[in-house]
Structure 1
């Protein structure tokens, strides 16, 4: 479900504070739904699966569906089809799949009701499922459950299979993964000098039945001890104590179900467990002595909870299952200590389903860990698998029938922004025998300050997986990769946010701003990231923000190659945000020939509210600030210059081996169409900490107002080798204010 921003009247005031710039060390603030645009119109996306005889039904159109919000029929305003088997996507830019149509799998290891040896072996099935069964567009998260910590999200939903396998191998034990510095939890791996080491993801121990790989014994030993310490709590056998723990698990799992509503689309939880004793709910067989006491009225001494089960506990479990259903969560349970039979008997599933169709109740199912798993699966519409060895094959039908998704959209009128639950019904016209699966309802949006930390974390992480620009803030990004011999490239990232858009109508005294930057390689794996959490005293910074905006300078460490850079900036109080997705090429160092890294328009650092990354990030690389004039006075590169016509603009060309190179340029239209040669005047060669820096002046005479690109090329006259860089700029109309980068 995607929604647009809440009304201004619902935006909260922040607490007072001083001007601070702090690196975020814990959960990121954010919004619990994805909002686009600037009105209070809400668009609800409903993914629908149409299934007949266990196979997806293709070829349906919007005219085949009807959708009801409560009892009120809604007009379908959007319709998209995603077919993973045929490779058919929607008409969105770049072929991006709507997030509501992407399948989400949460691999949940139950450390409380499973033996350590069962969990260790179950990792094999989980890795096999992720590696071989899921579609590349599927998103995967990893979590654990224990009595002491409850549900713990080890890894947020991500497409990075290396991170997923690391999370499964380590089960989130920090001693085995290294420092988890990512507040969003989508990067879980060892950090060395801010360069994300592949040591863990490449060296994940062999979790196959043959045992750990050579040299990884310590890894497995540490994990075994960790699981044993958790499992000690499981060995206490007091029945009432056990019941209280199942009740606590049910309540915390209900919270998990509600939390997952922040994630768009259907969520599939693969629950790896041996199950709790379901006789706590259903009761145990009565002895002759217990029957005698009941017949003589000695109920207090007959152990009625043990005999008939705990009705209060049954209600807790039913409320947990209802929380999952309302958030469109399907739980597939896997008996990690089970026998060699795959799948539940049909009669068993039918009996379990009676508990949720009015024909029976949870207390009719009998007692065992196996039956509790059967209950959870049946109560959410999931599958039960009595052995983890063939999990991939057993889930094949699920993966097939959910390979075709119809995404229906509608905009409810006069929707209150109160977080209330609305029931949905989708009907299919004229297709007998076709069964529809869809979420049973949706929650109305609520203000940002009412969202919990984990809810905001999940939503932010999912937003960063988008493949297109989103949001309403004025946001521009410039990444300048400097090759370094024998080390990863040093990539400063300059982020500019228009101050007026960042402030908006926000009435708080402290402006809390979140900044996230993540780089994925061509295979989808995370290569590096940085995050920053700023708290700004509005009274002190508002004049400068209103005149220009916020400029932040951070850096990434990346190897040579092609990457996708995603930068998200958000006002924590209002929830207003912007996401920019940009391709990034990091060149390798050259022994000879020119390498032109960037063409930059310099500006004094005090024209914007300029904040640099914290001291700990600066210290990660022994590299001083790279944007300096010849006299080492710092400047800030303008990310998107706005220039006046008929002037000369200073430029700095940064790169390597530029001495003696021939410099020429041309002006292009915004669409890349050539306009003509650029009027360039080459100045002096300046020193630079990472190579060469040439001063150039660019004359804008003859250019009419509009958007342009300046392409500058350095050519080695001896070898003919060439290297180019491009800077986008705009020519302002006469009389426009010289604001925020206009020169």
Structure 2
């Protein structure tokens, strides 16, 4: 791996949420009043998907149908237009499609560094590792975050099924807690937080601000008095010292509670794009609700109902419920006998329908009921016509003729769509992470992607990636400024992340509008991948309109000593109008020659285009290369000609290179594919297919 920058904007991220490219932190901001909806005259026909768990005596109720449910918004009943049964306990068929995103289970492990000791946090990390390895369904998504004494919430890992990424992140936490020095970052900051790569570099070295009363702790450690005058005086002195220090210590502890409430509010707001059932597991030694009166500005003394902060906590927990979160608290201090030090954790969990697990040794047991109950659920879809203003709409799901003792668990409601132009940068990044980690595909921008293995190393192979975004969709909005962001994440056959790239491009229409109209934006990137099958998830998005292309590109990387697949790559012509974005860490060098590739060849009528063929063994005697030209329907065409011009053997891990030229000849204007086959008497054939077009003759 290498050090790498991602070229994405940073401004505004620091004070909002943990997807910041610089630090990844959510700074504490005051808990606001419920946000006003964005003004909008647009009415969106919105399909709302509602995951519902139905239990009786703690066990899931099976066999229900759409007719058993009623969904109510205010005084009106919404018709159920879609219904799906989700059963994670049933064996998954090998060819089963991925479950709907709204039916997924999302587990966020949040570690409280402000009110927890280092040793107990270690226990919490070990318990989460065991749960990830053995307790969760492979389809469950996991995210990891830390809350720091500075009032910041760092999202280290976004929701993903990538267990290797979760392991990397938990290992980074363990290293920090064990005092290990951070190694030099192998890669740049992962903007979407999907890989766990570089997670250690994101972590602050700040631990608990040890808000304890040392006098009280010392007195407790002495044990019972022995009856001597010295023992009595010592106890009295420590008691008096404890009384003096207690208000200041409790005020600082209460400040952490306030900052935690602020951070949780931001968490719920920014992660609204995450669909499905959401479980927040808070690892903390907890706090006492008696601390609350010390927080309000200028406020002292006791407070009935714990006053101002209790109101803020309720507001924050209401926002969590609105966004579909259930908070389960893991009390790192373990079982408390007759104490109220951890009643704050019970309050947080109870207000969201969650539970408290006492001690990390019982984590799997404590969450076992949650996992068992949520393994079986129902996904209801209803249709609502609402303004596109991001406002919250309460919903109630009712079960017709429900037996006594039946519980129906569902989110409080839904948020209306918020137009892309009203979203801030961090909300957009959070949405991008959801898109990339999912399985959906779409193509609003007409994206083209090509990936070519260039140099094989001992453990990884350098793969050059080319992403082409046509200019016409980018110009359609008419904005004087044009922006596009590109993300690429490579996953191996097990779904674990191997490498990533990210790039943002900002252009001015006045300067490059003519070039975009004739071509578009061409972005080069680099991946370092181990041998094996991979799939590359690519997201390209217009930063002005939100229009996006999301697709999956299959990749296969051969070992350095193994056979290499045939690769073909068109070269851009000398008068190419495309805007080229070539980061320093992504040189497209072939045999020491820097080239500008094109995902699709473009030939003038009766014209020609240069291309490179790459593969292992192409320079060997007895190797043959055949080709044919196919039209859009797959029919072989006559009239074009491929000339092989020169052959150069590779060295130091490079592939052999064949330089070639494709002549359009008498091919009529249109879209085609060039099919190439290379073979040898001792090897199986390799095939490569590249698209090209022949343009109409100029008048």
TM-score range, shorter chain: 0.7 to 0.9
Going from structure 1 to structure 2, the CA distance change for 1:188 and 1:518 (only over 3 Å counts) comes to same
Contact 2:190 2:197 in 1 (8 A): no
What do residues 117-170 of structure 1 show as CA deviations (whole Å, max 9, x unaligned)? 211222111111111111111111111112313322122222222222232233
Partner of 1:694: 658
Matched, 1:665 2:627: yes
Partner of 2:128: 126
Going from structure 1 to structure 2, the CA distance change for 1:374 and 1:473 (only over 3 Å counts) comes to same
Going from structure 1 to structure 2, the CA distance change for 1:736 and 1:241 (only over 3 Å counts) comes to farther
Whole-angstrom CA distance in 1 between matches of 2:551 and 2:259: 42
Partner of 1:727: 689
Whole-angstrom CA distance in 1 between matches of 2:433 and 2:489: 11
Contact 1:643 1:731 in 2 (8 A): yes
* Structure 2 residue runs without a partner (length 5+): 14-18, 22-41, 214-244
Matched, 1:320 2:316: yes
Matched, 1:149 2:151: yes
Partner of 2:612: 652
- Following superposition, the deviation at residue 313 of structure 1 comes to 2.0
Q: Map 1:486-525 to 2 at 5 A.
A: 486=458, 488-507=460-479, 509-525=480-496
| Residue 558 of structure 1, aligned match among 516, 526, 529 | 529
- Following superposition, the deviation at residue 307 of structure 1 comes to 7.1
Contact 1:79 1:406 in 2 (8 A): yes
- Following superposition, the deviation at residue 72 of structure 1 comes to 2.8
Matched, 1:410 2:379: no
Whole-angstrom CA distance in 2 between matches of 1:405 and 1:642: 52
- Following superposition, the deviation at residue 392 of structure 1 comes to 0.8
SS of the counterpart of 1:166? helix
| Residue 614 of structure 1, aligned match among 579, 583, 607 | 583
SS of the counterpart of 1:419? coil
TM-score norm. by structure 1 comes to 0.74
Contact 1:147 1:249 in 2 (8 A): no
* More divergent stretch after superposition (401-410 vs 134-143): 401-410
SS of the counterpart of 2:182? helix
| Residue 97 of structure 1, aligned match among 96, 99, 117 | 99
| Residue 182 of structure 2, aligned match among 176, 185, 200 | 176
Matched, 1:446 2:418: yes
Contact 1:563 1:584 in 2 (8 A): yes
What do residues 592-643 of structure 1 show as CA deviations (whole Å, max 9, x unaligned)? xx7443122333265343323322x14xxxx762399xxx573422x24577
RMSD: 3.8
Partner of 1:60: 64
- Following superposition, the deviation at residue 304 of structure 1 comes to 8.0
| Residue 109 of structure 2, aligned match among 107, 110, 116 | 107
* More divergent stretch after superposition (513-522 vs 308-317): 308-317
Whole-angstrom CA distance in 2 between matches of 1:604 and 1:445: 44
Whole-angstrom CA distance in 2 between matches of 1:606 and 1:400: 63
Going from structure 1 to structure 2, the CA distance change for 1:731 and 1:66 (only over 3 Å counts) comes to farther
- Following superposition, the deviation at residue 234 of structure 1 comes to 5.5
Whole-angstrom CA distance in 2 between matches of 1:708 and 1:60: 52
Matched, 1:185 2:185: no
Matched, 1:232 2:210: yes
Contact 2:43 2:388 in 1 (8 A): no
* Structure 1 residue runs without a partner (length 5+): 1-20, 31-37, 192-199, 201-218, 284-302, 342-365, 739-743
- Following superposition, the deviation at residue 540 of structure 1 comes to 1.0
Contact 1:595 1:658 in 2 (8 A): no
Partner of 1:683: 644
* More divergent stretch after superposition (645-654 vs 109-118): 645-654
The aligned length equals: 618
Matched, 1:261 2:272: yes
Partner of 1:398: 370
Going from structure 1 to structure 2, the CA distance change for 1:679 and 1:376 (only over 3 Å counts) comes to same
Contact 2:449 2:468 in 1 (8 A): yes
Whole-angstrom CA distance in 1 between matches of 2:698 and 2:289: 72
Going from structure 1 to structure 2, the CA distance change for 1:608 and 1:392 (only over 3 Å counts) comes to farther
SS of the counterpart of 1:455? helix
Contact 2:321 2:352 in 1 (8 A): yes
Whole-angstrom CA distance in 2 between matches of 1:189 and 1:82: 32
* More divergent stretch after superposition (232-241 vs 452-461): 232-241
Partner of 2:331: 335
Whole-angstrom CA distance in 1 between matches of 2:611 and 2:463: 19
Contact 1:25 1:181 in 2 (8 A): no
- Following superposition, the deviation at residue 705 of structure 1 comes to 8.7
- Following superposition, the deviation at residue 582 of structure 1 comes to 1.4
Whole-angstrom CA distance in 1 between matches of 2:607 and 2:251: 83
What do residues 268-288 of structure 1 show as CA deviations (whole Å, max 9, x unaligned)? 0111111112223599xxxxx
Partner of 1:598: 567
- Following superposition, the deviation at residue 183 of structure 1 comes to 1.6
- Following superposition, the deviation at residue 77 of structure 1 comes to 3.4
Contact 1:500 1:546 in 2 (8 A): yes
Whole-angstrom CA distance in 2 between matches of 1:708 and 1:435: 60
Partner of 1:712: 676
Higher relative contact order (CA 8 A, sep 6+): 1
| Residue 45 of structure 1, aligned match among 40, 43, 49 | 49
Contact 2:109 2:282 in 1 (8 A): yes
Q: Map 1:254-403 to 2 at 5 A.
A: 254-281=265-292, 305-306=301-302, 308=304, 310-339=306-335, 368-403=340-375
Going from structure 1 to structure 2, the CA distance change for 1:702 and 1:94 (only over 3 Å counts) comes to farther
Whole-angstrom CA distance in 1 between matches of 2:70 and 2:417: 23
Partner of 2:38: none
TM-score norm. by structure 2 comes to 0.79
Matched, 1:428 2:399: yes
Contact 2:618 2:649 in 1 (8 A): no
